Structures are given as C-alpha cells and as structure tokens.
Amino acid sequence: MNEDTLKGQWKQLKGNAREQWGKLTDDDLDQVEGRAEQLVGRIQERYGIARDEAQRQYDDWWRTYQTGATAAR
C-alpha cells in the first residue's frame, strides 16, 4: 500500500470508501484524512469486527482501487 497515494487522492476516494463502508460517517472520513491505519480503526469500531478483518477489508478495497486506477491509465 502506498500511503502517499492514499493521502494524495483521499478526496476522490472518500466517496468510494463511503460506498464500501456505509456505517462510516462523513466526520469519520474527514478525520481519517487518508491515513490507512486510522481508516482500518474506524472500520473496526463502526462494524464491531476484529482488527484483522478490518485490515483484510481495507486491503481488498485498496487492491480493487489500484487495479481500477491502473486499468484507467
């Protein structure tokens, strides 16, 4: 994962993250500000899941985004 890419494109990715994890509020996403660890923590809190599961969901989401971004080039 490239944290700089996540931070740099966070405004575009916020909507996608909101679609993926509907329980996250706009405030949650604003506070995350593109920090992966913060996002994983918010996912864990809002969904009441283990950290490992939240990390897996994030990794899958990020991989899907990168695959789509690469294909668009």
Q: What's the structural domain count of the chain? A: 1
Residue 42 has pLDDT above 80, yes or no: yes
Domain membership of residue 45 (yes or no) is yes
pLDDT in tens, 29-38: 999 999 999 9
Q: Where are the strands (E) in the chain, listed by range?
A: none
Q: What distance lies between CA 35 and its chain's CA centroid? A: 8
Task: Give the CATH number of the domain where residue 31 resides.
Answer: 1.10.1470.10
Domain membership of residue 73 (yes or no) is no
pLDDT the model gives residue 72:
56
pLDDT the model gives residue 68:
79
pTM, two decimals, is 0.85
pLDDT in tens, 7-20: 888 988 999 999 99
Range of the domain at 63: 3-68
